[in-house]
Amino acid sequence: MNNYARIARVIGYLEANCDGQPGLEELAGVVGLSASRFHRLFVAWAGVTPKEFLKCLTVADAKRRLRMGDAVLEAAIDSGLSGPGRLHDLCVSLEAASPGEIKSGGAGIEVRFGFADSPFGRCLIAGCERGLCWIEFTGAGEASALSDHWFGAVLVRDDQYARELGARVFGGEVARSGLRGLVRGSRFQVQVWRALLRIPEGQLSSYGGLAEAIGRPRAARAVGTAVGGNPLAYLIPCHRVIRATGVIGDYRWGTDRKRAMIAREGCGR
């Protein structure tokens, strides 16, 4: 079991047993580690102790963040700001592929891809001269989803390139500054993905709130479909969208992974 799998298992256990306030020894036993080793691992991953982490996992907290996220998202889309006096993830720019590139699957474009480790498990990362074009979490060493999406491109394996990009993608807002993305999608999909970039780290929105924020209040279902089609996992933060009830909901790369992302960001990492 790798460290991400251990953390995901503990998060699931905490969420199911948070009322009992499980202690360090109990949590360490869930993943078969000594209390001291587990404590070091958890603090290294989350930046806080397991006890402090419990605050990020309650339904009340999720609902509170949802309300904050909706309000902040609307303001962010109007002004480009995420909070008092600072620009947000607009440091990540998103370019849409041309109709010709979409039709041809990127014919003539060289795409370098490789595998890298992240705080949320192994991932496949790909990019070209114009920016990142694919990020997905994977447990197997296959590039099938990438080759289906960019079927006309020339694919070149380069794991070092992927590791370097991964260090930026998962390294925080400062590390992500200046990253560019190249995406294949409809005008509506790209509009939704750009709106997702405006949800501040540590905040959440609902599908309905996202639909209202882009001026399509009756299109919550279509927004949900566009969110699910996100080609740049984590970089375009579709994990920051939950159901209006506060329930985490489904996630393309697994609900446990989505829960881990929300909790980690909620703790300021």
Residues 6+ apart with CB under 8 A from 157: 112, 113, 114
Judge whether 128 counts as a catalytic residue.
no
d(CA 23, CA 120): 24
d(CA 96, CA 126): 16
d(CA 205, CA 262): 12
Strand intervals (E) in 139-195: 154-157, 180-183
Catalytic option among 56, 123, 133, 238: 238
Q: Give Cα 59 distance to the centre of its chain.
A: 20
d(CA 69, CA 64): 9
d(CA 24, CA 162): 36
d(CA 78, CA 57): 30
Q: Tell me phi and psi for residue 30, to 5 degrees.
A: -60, -35
d(CA 213, CA 226): 14
- Do the beta carbons of residue 97 and residue 193 sit within 8 Å? no
Encoding tokens for residue 120? 């949320």
H helix and E strand count, the chain: 13, 10
Residue matched to tokens 């996220």: 69
Active-site residue numbers? 238
